């Protein structure tokens, strides 16, 4: 299966997974072949992207970390509401306890499935909520990564909660900023606001305070260096950098690896190595256009370079159809952009 933005969907596309609304209600079940009217309904419901399957999807439709949104979509909606009410100081202790319980449920799900799940980027599912969904997805990806690094569930829950709340000062209207202060003060502002307003554990607050620190000491607010930076902050930095690069590049991919290397030079090198071992930059079944004009589909076979996966040719004037190529071993062919259909 592969993800396709709603604006790029074509009639008769077959849904690979259920399409749910923002609060988890069913819109269309998996297996639906989309009509023109149903495409219109997806737009009316502000669905941003869906998963489809066709003759160019060769892998089993196994859910990725959050693709099976039936078990997560309602949790996402709850977390987004929690972020919003916390930002304006309206979250009660009961609401915060409920959020922590929800975070523990998410951690337990990923802990149980941590060996089967890859760390992957997720497109936004609902239009108009890109910022909120980005916050929640980064928190969830950071949760899975923390577990793969060997953190225990309690420490992982702190990472998840910190990732959800770390930028609260940037959107909280009643936080006073001193004249001349800039965004580099937001970790401390978030820390102080949450410490004063809510009874959060100290390890969560510590991650929030340090989430903009960098491994080489060039971060802020305290220019911490190396392992003096909390593990959770180092984890979130990697996931956020990866997410931002993928989000900015969208369909075009030629500079993806160079941008990733440039953005991550100041991050924890050991964690980065483990991250690379546990992520797919290009998900299996992703359709790609190569620099020679060929169209190929990414296969499940692992590659020595996550930015240059193994692909199967589906349309070409250079190779026989169904030829399998390891792009990491090619010197003159690479991925140019992501496509969604074979024209």
Over the stretch 84-111, which tens digit does the pLDDT of each residue have?
777 667 767 777 777 888 889 889 988 9
The candidate with the shortest Cα–Cα distance to 50, out of 17, 10, 11, 12, is: 17
User: What confidence category does residue 311 fall into, taking pLDDT thresholds of 50, 70 and 90?
Assistant: very high
Give the three-class secondary structure for 335: strand
Could you write out the DSSP letters of every residue in 46-96?
TB-EEEEE-TT--S-----TTTSGGGTHHHHHHHHHHHHHHHTT---HHHH
CA distance 161 to 91: 14
Beta bridge partners of 298: 311
Task: Give backbone dihedrals phi and psi of 181, rounded to 5 degrees, phi first.
Answer: -70, 145
pLDDT in tens, 312-343: 999 998 899 999 999 999 988 999 999 999 98
pLDDT in tens, 140-188: 899 999 999 999 999 999 999 999 889 887 767 667 777 667 788 889 9
Cis upstream peptide for 221 (omega within 30°)? yes
Q: 8: Cβ–Cβ under 8 A, 6 or more apart, which residues?
A: 340
Please give the pLDDT value at position 161.
92
User: What confidence category does residue 67 fall into, taking pLDDT thresholds of 50, 70 and 90?
Assistant: very low
Could you write out the DSSP letters of every residue in 150-192?
T--HHHHHHHHHHHHHTTGGGT-TT----TT--GGGHHHHHHH
Label residues 274-311 b or e (16+ Cβ within 10 Å = b): bbbebbbbbbbbbbbbbeeebbbbbbeeebeebbbbbb
Give the global pTM. Answer: 0.88
Q: How far apart are the first and last CA of the chain?
A: 18
């Amino acid at each position: 299966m592969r993800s396709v933005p709603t604006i790029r969907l074509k009639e008769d596309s077959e849904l690979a997974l259920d399409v749910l609304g923002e609060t988890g209600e069913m819109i269309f079940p998996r297996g639906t072949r989309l009509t023109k009217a149903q495409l219109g309904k997806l737009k009316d419901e502000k669905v941003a992207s869906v998963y489809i399957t066709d003759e160019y999807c060769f892998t089993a439709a196994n859910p990725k970390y959050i693709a099976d949104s039936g078990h997560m979509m309602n949790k996402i909606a709850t977390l987004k509401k929690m972020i919003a009410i916390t930002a304006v100081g309206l979250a009660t202790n009961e609401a915060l306890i409920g959020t922590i319980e929800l975070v523990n449920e998410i951690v337990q799900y990923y802990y149980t499935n941590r060996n089967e799940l890859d760390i992957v980027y997720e497109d936004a599912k609902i239009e108009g909520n890109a910022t909120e969904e980005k916050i929640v997805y980064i928190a969830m990806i950071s949760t899975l990564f923390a577990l793969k690094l060997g953190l225990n569930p309690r420490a992982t829950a702190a990472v998840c909660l910190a990732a959800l709340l770390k930028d609260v000062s940037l959107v909280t209207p009643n936080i006073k900023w001193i004249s001349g202060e800039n965004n580099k003060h937001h970790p401390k502002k978030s820390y102080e606001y949450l410490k004063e307003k809510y009874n959060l554990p100290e390890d969560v607050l510590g991650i929030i305070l340090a989430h903009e620190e960098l491994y080489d000491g060039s971060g802020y607010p305290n220019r911490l260096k190396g392992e003096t930076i909390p593990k959770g902050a180092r984890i979130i930095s990697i996931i956020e950098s990866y997410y931002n690069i993928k989000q900015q590049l969208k369909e075009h991919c030629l500079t993806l690896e160079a941008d990733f290397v440039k953005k991550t030079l100041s991050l924890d090198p050991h964690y980065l190595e483990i991250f690379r071992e546990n992520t797919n930059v290009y998900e299996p079944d992703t359709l790609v256009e190569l620099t020679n004009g060929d169209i190929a589909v990414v296969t499940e076979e692992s590659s020595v370079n996550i930015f240059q996966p193994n692909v199967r040719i589906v349309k070409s004037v250079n190779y026989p159809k169904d030829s399998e190529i390891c792009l990491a071993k090619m010197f003159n062919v690479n991925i140019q952009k992501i496509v969604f259909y074979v024209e």
